[in-house]
Amino acid sequence: MAAIKQRYTFIVPNNFRDTPDSLRLSAERLELEAVPGTRQDRIIVSRPLVKEQNILDSVEDIRIEIGSRDNYAHVSPFDRTIQWGTHVTVVPQNGFNWDSFCNFVRSAVNPRIPCIGQASFIKLPYGYYLYSTSVATDTLISYIDSTYPAISATDDSEDIPLGDLSELKTANSISISFSRSEETARKLKGRLVVEVYWYYGHWTKTINPGLDSNNHKVEVGLLGKLSDDPDGDMTFGGILAVVGDNSQFVPTLFDFQPRHRGLKAPAIYSPDFRLPYGLHPKHITNVYGDLHVPRVKSRNQVEDPKTGEFEITDVPATCGLYGFYILPNFIFVDKYQISDLADAQAGGVKRVVGIWGETDLEIPVWMVDKWGSTMLLELITPSEAELELPVQAAEIEIPMHSRYEVPDWNTTAVIHDMPWPSIFWACNGSDETSMLSGPFDSNSLGHEKYFAPGTSFHYLLPNMTLSTPDNHTELVTKLSIPVVPLESYKYVQPWTVIFILLGCVWITYKVICGYIRDGGIRKRNEGVAPASKALAEQKKQEPKSE
Amino acid sequence: MKLTTSRLLLLAALMRVAFFYYGVYQDANAEIRFTDIDYFVFTDASKFTAQGGTPYDRDTYRYTPILAWLLLPTTQYFWFGKLLFALGDIVAGWLMLRIFYLRGLEYNRALKFASVWLLNPMVATISTRGSSEGLLGAVVIALLWAVYERKIILAGLIAGYSVHFKIYPIIYIPSILWAMDDSPKLLGNGIMKWINKDRVLFGIASLLSFSFLTGAMYYIYGEPFLIHTYLHHLSRSDHRHNFSPYNILLYISSSPNVELKSPYPSLAFIPQLFIAGVLLPFMLAKKDLAKTMFVQTFAFVTFNKVCTSQYFMWYIVLLPFYLPSSKMLKNKTLGILAVLLWTLAQGLWLQQGFQLEYMNVSTFFPGIFAATLIFFLVNIWILGIAVEDI
């Protein structure tokens, strides 16, 4: 296998027909002219060429993924959704050097990510995770550009194979990953994988072969989805070419069982905070549409009791509806309160799978060491009676709490951006892990890691128009948190002290008044505790009135 | 129908039963839960303990493990803790009546003043919501009763237990010691005369009981016990708004945007302990121990860095001892004014707090800040009257 494998995938509309105008393939290059559609670039770099050897030496899995804030579409087969922001996930082995990894994150990915060592990561059941709401990609792009000249250097200086830099800036998501895990497809294992995704564009560009054609393979595919059996395979057809090798496109037709997919029948959701809210905002997610359980069959090996042979049998999978929340440090949930919801089957919560990270119930935002917390909930699905209705609805109501914010000058509120949760069905599935080696699957390390490897994911769509260059839409919920304006400090400090001192003086004065009145620290004829006997006698003589 | 001790206690019990069932109803039907959040902390801690863990497995459990042990039955009967706390109220009321008897207060007046505690709806609400303050109230009144009964060793044991339970009763130790005048001297005259039998017995008993309990808990639960039960209170950074006059200063001063940290919050214990732990005991305890303990507690809560309405229970339990000879009772206008101002100042704070907590209005400054200072002023004014009364 070539040391560098570069693949351009274009998912073109079904009515797209290639013409000599739109595609010009020669032995030297491929030229595209206004090819419409979704695009994904994938570069697989084999281990010896990877520059970050010191980081990769003792790691099982690493994935750094930046999702744009725009509400972009997830076009099949790129259905896997992530929340916007920068996601850094690590499954370390013994001796993993957190400091040099954090140096790498800050210098190569984004200097604004607060990565100072293992302490910056929250512990998840499968590894360590750092999230940042910063989505800047320029550092990462210039890093890739300067570190992997084999990818970006070309004989034609006008073009850079890994999309030119301005193209990368418009990408909807960029990820870098490296995995030694057994679950990873063989062709990705032990290699650095970079993936860049644009949900839509008209692509005019020249794609050149690799400089060293033996070690650098550049492949281009133009594909369309031919069929999508919701409980089975997805079929794609189209044309493929290895630039520099093929002078003609080769037709292709293949099917596979994808791990991530959209829902066949539409269901949408939209979250917001219920108004009015204060320091205890209620996070409401409304879900509408077809909320029938996806009909998914899972393939299992079943032993035939008569023959003793194993057969592959389709059985209906069991599915659950899940909500995955990212809670940056300014907001948190009370895990006990959420468990109570699940116990009462209230708020749309069926089961708390887990809450990880900073869950302290009291500390203000500046005492939170890590970036925040995540929560995975299994949600209550509509009852059978509700499923009779043409459209179903569900409401998830999660009580949240905002942390005390840092006081600032001339402001009485701090506004934060919170990512929308992801809502999806997870269907437990096949014993076989063929989905993991699907042609478009990558060693992803997000919510899917909470489920068994054979699980399939079916995503609900955010209820918002897709972002376009003219009309940006973002999956952002704004949260306003009241703060004390910092300029009040110059009044608060002296007046607090003055009042306390006044209080002390007043009490002392009153004590002295009493002292003077009684002529001492004692009262005449009154001790602490008159012996009960003596007192009883006294009482007989004259009822004492206090 | 004439009020008698048993009728009063029965009435107090019935009132708590009614509040308890009202709470069951509200918990099941209303948006805002009746049961206190702390009750879930206690019961969770008991659950963890029952399952072989420690009470500190529950976040924000900041109490002695003894409380979690006491509440072990809640793993079977969730209401058991509320029953225990309400029972604490009633025991406190009953002991209060015993003390009134020892102090020679007329029977009918004693019943009337004990009702200030026993039939106080605020007290009944706090216990039936599941707050442990009523239980502590019973312990403090038991301490006072033992002192009045001259059961010195018992008093010492209770004192040690109460300090182990909630630290603040430590302010009662100097008052009780100072007041124990009437006892055979042990070590000659002069300054040594001060060391008398009662003081030595009380000192040793309280030290032993505190050390034994705290040592035993440390032996069983180790570091987490010390950190959560005691050290947390020294380093607490709980900035959530509360009634304390220090509240907004603490919030701003501890934040990273302030270049010059205010030195005052870390000095707050000086005026507080000077007044509640030195000045008041020294000047007043020999005049009237029970009333001194009331004003000490009132001062301690008023000058505290953190103050929530549960802390009011600490002095309300001692209020009935102060009231009978109070100027505020003799002068009705003064009394009504004091109650009115105390309530209004709290109302103002609550209104500002509601705007912040639920309406997203930044009322920290000047709203809540001013409200805490006004509430402080009202408290200081009342405290001044009470101090002069003793």
Minimum Cα–Cα distance from A517: chain B residue: B388
Q: Please check the confidence at residue B260 and state whether its pLDDT lies above 50.
A: yes
Q: Which residues fall within 8 angstroms of residue A513, CB to CB, at 6 or more apart?
A: B388
Cβ of A489 within 8 Å of Cβ of B253? The answer is yes
Secondary structure, 3-state, A56-119: HCCEEEEEEEEECCECCCCCCCCCCCCCCEEEEEEEECCCCCHHHHHHHHHHHHCCCCCCCCHH
Cross-chain residue pair A546–B325, CB shorter than 8 Å? yes
A34: left (phi over 0), alpha (psi -120 to 50) or beta: left
Closest CA to A477 of A425, A414, A420: A420
10 Å Cβ neighbour count for A518? Answer: 16
Does A517 or A120 have the greater pLDDT score?
Answer: A120
- Bridge-based pairing of strands A85-92 and A127-132 is antiparallel
pLDDT for A533: 47
Which tops the pLDDT comparison, B133 or B173?
B173
Identify whether the C-beta of residue A159 lies closer than 8 Å to the C-beta of residue A30: no
Contact flag A506-B380 (C-beta cutoff 8 Å): yes
The C-alpha angle A515, A521, A526, rounded to 5 degrees, equals 115
Residue from A471, A478, A436 nearest A453 by CA: A436
3-state helix/strand/coil string of A32-57 = EEEEEEEEEEEEEECHHHCCCHHHHC
Instruction: Spell A215-250 as b/e; 16+ CB within 10 A means b.
Output: ebbbbbbbbbeeebeebeebebebbbbbbbebeebe
Dihedral sign of CA atoms A310, A314, A320, A323 in order: positive
* CB under 8 A, 24+ apart: contacts of B268-273: B268/A500, B268/B303, B268/B305, B271/A500, B271/A501, B271/A503, B271/A504, B271/B303, B272/B299, B272/B300, B272/B303, B272/B304, B273/B171
Could you tell me which residues come within 8 angstroms of residue A98 by beta carbon, excluding any fewer than 6 positions away? A92, A117, A118
Q: Tell me the pLDDT band of B287, cut-offs 50, 70 and 90.
A: confident
Q: Is B329 on the interface with A (CB under 8 A)?
A: no
Q: Does B232 touch chain A (CB under 8 A)?
A: no
The CA distances from residue A271 to A315, A337, B279, in Å, are 34, 20, 57
User: Is the pLDDT confidence value at B151 over 80?
Assistant: yes
Confidence class of residue A361 from pLDDT cuts 50, 70 and 90?
A: confident
Selected residue of B177, B274, B287, B302 to mutate for chain A interface (largest A Cβ count, 10 A): B287
User: Any idea which residue has 């030496």 for tokens?
Assistant: A57
Q: Which of A358, A502, A496 is nearest to B253 (CA)?
A: A496
A144-158, A392-406, B38-52, B188-202: least confident range: A144-158
For residue A163, pLDDT beyond 60: no
- Among the listed ranges A213-217, B269-273, B281-285, which one has the minimum average pLDDT value? A213-217
Q: Is B71 helix (H, G, I), strand (E, B) or coil?
A: coil
What's the rounded Cα separation, in Å, for the pair B315 and B244? 16
pTM of the full structure: 0.86
User: How far, in Å, CA of A176 to CA of A193, rounded?
Assistant: 6
Rounded average pLDDT over A468-475: 89
Q: What is the pLDDT of residue A541?
A: 45
CB B356 to CB A277 under 8 A?
A: no
Asked if B42 has any chain A CB less than 8 Å from its own CB, the reply is no
Helix (H, G, I), strand (E, B), or coil: what is residue A192? strand
Cα-only R_g, chain B = 21
Query: Which member of A404, A535, A546 has the closest CB to residue B102?
Result: A535
- Cβ–Cβ contact B189 with A under 8 A: no
Which of chain B's residues have a Cβ under 8 Å away from the Cβ of A495? 369, 373
Looking at residues A355-381, what average pLDDT do you find? 92
Residue in A with minimal Cα distance to B378: A503
Which residues are paired to A299 by β-bridges? A314
Q: How many CA atoms lie within 13 A of A328 on its CB side?
A: 24
Mean pLDDT of B248-270: 84
Question: In whole angstroms, what is the distance from residue B81 CA to residue B134 CA?
Answer: 11
Phi then psi for residue B182, to 5 deg, are -90, 70
Between B264 and A431, name the one with better pLDDT.
B264
**Could you give the 3-state DSSP secondary structure of residue A127?**
strand
- Which of A92-106, A223-237, B248-262 has the highest average model confidence (pLDDT)? A92-106
Question: Is-contact B92 B114, C-beta < 8 A?
Answer: no
H helices of B120-263, where? 121-128, 133-148, 152-166, 172-179, 197-221, 223-225, 232-235, 247-253
Count of alpha carbons within 13 Å of A151, Cβ hemisphere only?
Answer: 29
The band of A527, judged by pLDDT with boundaries at 50, 70 and 90, is: very low
Q: Is A310 on the interface with B (CB under 8 A)?
A: no
On whether the CB atoms of residues A77 and A318 are closer than 8 A, the answer is: no
Query: What pLDDT score does A546 carry?
Result: 45
CA angle in degrees (0–180, nearest 5) for A275-A278-A282: 55
Question: What's the angle, vertex CA A467, arms to CA A464 and CA A473, rounded to 5?
Answer: 60
Q: B152: pLDDT confidence band, cut at 50, 70 and 90?
A: very high
Are the CB atoms for A12 and A222 separated by under 8 Å?
A: yes
Helix or strand run (H / E) with residue A339: helix A335-344
Across the interface, whether the CB atoms of A485 and B356 are under 8 A apart is answered no
Instruction: Check pLDDT > 50 for residue B128.
Output: yes
**Arithmetic mean of pLDDT, A373-382:** 94
Q: Is the pLDDT of residue A220 over 90?
A: yes
Eight-state DSSP code of residue A15: T
pLDDT range class, residue A157, cuts 50, 70, 90: very low
Cα(A446)–Cα(A42) distance, rounded to whole angstroms? 19
Residue of chain B whose Cα is closest to the Cα of A524: B287
Q: Does A278 contact B358 at a Cβ distance shorter than 8 Å?
A: yes
Residues 6+ apart with CB under 8 A from B146: B152, B154, B155, B158
Tokens for A256, please give them: 């596979």
Q: Would you call B384 and A510 a contact, using CB atoms and an 8 Å cutoff?
A: yes
List the one residue out of A84, A72, A83 whose CA is nearest residue A39: A72
Window from A126-140, A305-319, B17-31, B96-110 with minimum mean pLDDT: A305-319
Record the tokens describing residue B196, joined without a space. Answer: 């008398």
Please name which of B112, B114, B123 lies closest in space to residue B93, comparing C-alpha atoms: B114
Alpha-carbon gap, residue A109 to A106, rounded angstroms: 6
Question: Is the Cβ of B6 closer than 8 Å to some Cβ of chain A?
Answer: no
Out of A340, A503, A528, name the one closest to residue B180 (CB).
Answer: A528
Between CA A457 and CA A451 the distance in angstroms is 10
Find the mean pLDDT for residues B44-48: 91
Which of B248, B284, B357 lies at the smallest CB-CB distance from A278? B357
> Which contiguous run of DSSP H or E holds residue A12?
none
Q: Tell me the HSE value of B127 on the side-chain side, using a 13 A CA sphere.
A: 34
Sequence-distant (≥ 6) Cβ neighbours of residue A23 within 8 angstroms: A30, A31, A32, A33, A35, A222, A249
User: Does the CB of B275 have a partner CB in chain A at under 8 Å?
Assistant: yes
Token pair of A339 as six digits: 């468990």
A536 vs A539: CA distance, rounded Å: 5
Give the residue, A532 or A508, on which the prediction is more confident: A508
A77 upstream amide cis, omega within 30 of 0: yes
A414 touches chain B (CB under 8 A): no
Subunit contact A278:B286, Cβ cutoff 8 A: no
Is the per-residue pLDDT at A278 higher than 50? yes
Dihedral, B242, B245, B249, B252 alpha carbons, nearest 10: 20
Q: DSSP character for B77?
A: -
Residue A348's nearest CA partner among A294, A394, A401, A289 is A394
Cβ burial, residue B300 (10 Å; 0-12/13-18/19+): buried
* Contact between B380 and A366 using a beta-carbon 8 Å cutoff: no
Cα(A535)–Cα(A529) distance, rounded to whole angstroms?
Answer: 9
Chain A residue numbers with beta carbons less than 8 Å from the beta carbon of B42 are: none
Which has the closest alpha carbon to B221: B344, B61, B350, B97?
B61
Question: How much is the pLDDT for B271?
Answer: 93
The pLDDT value given to residue A149 = 61
3-state SS string for A510-526: HHHHHHHHHCCCCECCE
Displacement of CA B241 from its chain's centroid (Å): 20
Q: Within 13 Å, how many C-alpha atoms sit on residue A218's CB side? A: 23
Does the beta-carbon distance from B366 to A486 stay under 8 Å? no
Q: Quick check: A532 and B149 CB within 8 A?
A: yes
CB of B347 within 8 Å of a chain A CB? The answer is: no
Structure-token pair, residue A337: 């309160």
pLDDT category of residue A312 using cuts at 50, 70 and 90: low
Residue with tokens 């309160």: A337
How many of the other CB atoms lie within 10 Å of CB of B46?
25
Mutation site for B-interface testing, chosen from A484, A497, A522 by largest number of B Cβ within 10 Å: A484
Look at B373 and A276 and tell me if their CB atoms are within 8 Å.
no
